[in-house]
Amino acid sequence: MAYTKPNSFTNGAALTGPDIKGNDDALKVYLHEGVVAGDLKATPWIETRHLQPPILEPVPGIQHGVTGVQGSQWTGGVAVKCQFATAFLTAARANTTNQSSWAVIPQTTMQFTLRGAAKVIFHWWMESINGPDNSGGSAGADGYLYASEYTAGGLLAGTGLKSIVPTYATECVSNYQGWQNNPPGGALYPYTLLGYGNMAGTKVFDATDTVVVGLAHLSTIDRSAIINWGINIEAYYL
């Protein structure tokens, strides 16, 4: 027989937690154990011709289906594809104030075209080793790697500038403590005490056409190695 809720509610009556939970629990039991042949439509109403298989793009790792888009890229373990961040790309040194130039982190951008209005969710994580950096600023000065999501109108030159919200960026401090300005210096503490960083984030936004989303960085550190990272995209048609 079809599902019948054990507890009914009338207008003006108080709703109680046990009664609502009882209805939910009964529905779970029905869906997992109680559906019988008599509850189903006798004549099939959906056939394979009604279903569109997803389009798979193996290189960027994206599939596009009837309900939206899903894809991911990652690196780690024995298949490490290190990326790098540096102050020389972002024109931001430890003793300068020019911190307006964000540079894209290679291989962390995805581009795809939507068929209609959709909600887009971009997840990411990364681990980095930052520094040591003895080339800028005063001795012992903090150096930082900032990472944030960015969107753009396109990947080709002139199709759109990067859109970044700096206040949403995550940061990691460089491994400066214990390193001397003039080599040979060496580390006073273990290498990963300060220079190791684990960052992650999520960006949710609405889109209707071509989507370009990825990771960008701003750094005041001479060199940072992004040793492990992963990105994931989800888009659901509204």
pLDDT at 56: 92
Q: Which residues contact 60 (CB under 8 A, 6 or more apart)?
A: 71, 73, 110, 111, 112
CA 193 distance to own-chain centroid: 26
Residue of 35, 129, 32 lying closest to 86 (CA atoms): 129
Mean pLDDT of the chain: 80
User: Is the per-residue pLDDT at 136 higher than 60?
Assistant: no
Q: Could you tell me the CATH number of the domain that includes residue 147?
A: 2.60.120
Do 38 and 133 share a structural domain?
no
Segment 172-194, tens digit of pLDDT: 887 655 544 444 444 444 444 45
pLDDT at 1: 63
User: Is the per-residue pLDDT at 11 higher than 70?
Assistant: yes
In a domain? residue 17:
yes
Residue reference for tokens 């684990």: 198
Return the percentage of the chain with pLDDT > 70, whole number.
77
Q: For residue 167, what are the domain limits? A: 56-237
Structural element, H or E, at residue 17: helix 17-29
- For the record, the structure tokens of 205 come out as 């936004």
The distance between the two most distant Cα atoms of the chain, rounded to a whole number of Å, is 82
Distance CA 117, CA 238 (A): 6
pLDDT at 18: 92
CB 215 within 8 A of CB 113: no
In a domain? residue 229:
yes
User: Is the per-residue pLDDT at 208 higher than 80?
Assistant: yes
Do 111 and 25 share a structural domain?
no
Do 25 and 96 share a structural domain?
no
In a domain? residue 50:
no
Do 60 and 39 share a structural domain?
no
Asked if the peptide bond before residue 132 counts as cis, ω within 30 degrees of 0, the response is yes
User: Is the per-residue pLDDT at 103 higher than 60?
Assistant: yes
What's phi and psi for 25, nearest 5 deg?
-65, -40
Do 64 and 2 share a structural domain?
no
In a domain? residue 51:
no
Distance CA 108, CA 73 (A): 8
Who has greater pLDDT, 107 or 193? 107
Do 153 and 213 share a structural domain?
yes
In a domain? residue 140:
yes
- For the record, the structure tokens of 232 come out as 């994931």
Using CB atoms within 10 A of its CB, is residue 48 exposed (0-12), middle (13-18) or buried (19+)? exposed
Which of 30-34, 135-139, 203-207, 217-221 has the lowest average pLDDT? Answer: 135-139
Do 70 and 2 share a structural domain?
no
In a domain? residue 105:
yes
Q: What are the CA-CA distances from residue 51 to residues 25, 73, 138 (Å)?
A: 32, 27, 64
pLDDT at 186: 46
How many domains are there within the chain? 2
pLDDT confidence tier of residue 138, bands split at 50, 70 and 90: very low
pLDDT confidence tier of residue 24, bands split at 50, 70 and 90: very high
Segment 35-85, tens digit of pLDDT: 888 888 788 778 778 788 899 998 889 999 989 999 999 887 666 788 888
Distance CA 11, CA 34 (A): 29
Do 104 and 69 share a structural domain?
yes
User: Is the per-residue pLDDT at 155 higher than 90?
Assistant: no
